[in-house]
Amino acid sequence: MFPFIAIPSYNRSDTIGDKTLKFLHLSGYPASRIHIFVATYDEFKKYLDALDEDVYGEIIIGVPGLKDQRNFITSFYKEDEIIIQMDDDVKGIRSNLPFLTLVEMGLASLEYRTAGLWGVMPNDDARRFKDATTKHLTHILGSFFIVRNHKNIQITHTEKEDLERSILYFKRYGQVLRYQNAGVCTTYCKGKGGLQSDKGRSENIKAGILNLTTKYPECCKLVDKKGIQDIILNWRVPQSSSTSSDGAPSHQSLPKK
């Protein structure tokens, strides 16, 4: 059985059906295994009215804010359960492999617990594709990833949250896996909803960069991208691991119509 797909979504009830959910439906992914996480009851009603029942399994009321919603999703599923997370604006995953086959590959890569996080390239530029999988510390994009769920791995800042997840899983397992012959088709920082709804995003990005460079100086460094400060991961950082356990808060789930 395929794992659950968790889709955190905010203010995109009118577009998620034409993007992520449409792609999953056309790919043949079982709708019953798709969970949509929204922030409030009002959002829940909007999504319920906007979406056809045959393209998802359940709409779950989580919490506002991407960081807190990601952590809510982690707490929602069982410890050690493998899940998939996708953003709500994914147009597709470009690959020579069918999506279901790609998922099976990711699942097999995590089966023996030598790694806990698997992803693909951060864009769909096929000129950069090659049939290989890297294991060093690298950016596993938050738009689509397969993960072995650990409740004690908690994100501490919304901006750059996928970089932090990559670091935390690398520190736990000593490697993260990025398959280089597939990539996410999406448009960054466009359209309404999602992080674009945050009017203070520029300041939050700066805070996210400071957060990571302060907490994990050996894993990342500041770079200048056309006059804008950004951060990259240090792929040369030595392998390390650390494990612990944590509890899970309660959650609220509502039925369909």
Average pLDDT over residues 60-76: 97
Whether 248 has a pLDDT exceeding 80, the answer reads no
Residue 79 pLDDT grade (very low, low, confident, very high; cuts 50, 70, 90):
very high
**Residue 204: what pLDDT?**
87
Lowest-confidence segment of 8-22, 123-137, 173-187, 230-244 by average pLDDT: 230-244
Average pLDDT over residues 146-150: 98
The span from the CA of 5 to the CA of 149, in Å, is 12
Mean pLDDT of the chain: 90
**Residue 249: what pLDDT?**
37
pLDDT in tens, 214-245: 999 999 999 988 888 899 999 999 876 444 43
How do strand 133-134 and strand 144-148 relate by DSSP bridges? unpaired
CA dihedral over 222, 219, 69, 49, signed as positive or negative: positive
**Residue 227: what pLDDT?**
81
Domain edges within the chain: 5-253
The span from the CA of 118 to the CA of 166, in Å, is 9
Whether 253 has a pLDDT exceeding 50, the answer reads no
Number of residues that make up the chain: 257
Whether 256 has a pLDDT exceeding 50, the answer reads no
**Residue 101: what pLDDT?**
98
Domain 5-253 has CATH 3.90.550.10: yes
18 phi, psi to nearest 5 deg = -95, -5
Q: End-to-end distance of the chain based on CA atoms, in angstroms?
A: 26
pTM: 0.88
> Taking a C-beta distance cutoff of 8 angstroms, is the pair 70, 48 a contact?
no
DSSP H or E stretch at residue 69 = helix 66-76
**Residue 243: what pLDDT?**
44
pLDDT in tens, 102-112: 999 999 999 99
50 phi, psi to nearest 5 deg = -85, -25
Average pLDDT over residues 144-162: 96
pLDDT in tens, 169-208: 999 999 999 999 999 998 765 556 555 455 677 888 988 8
**Residue 225: what pLDDT?**
84
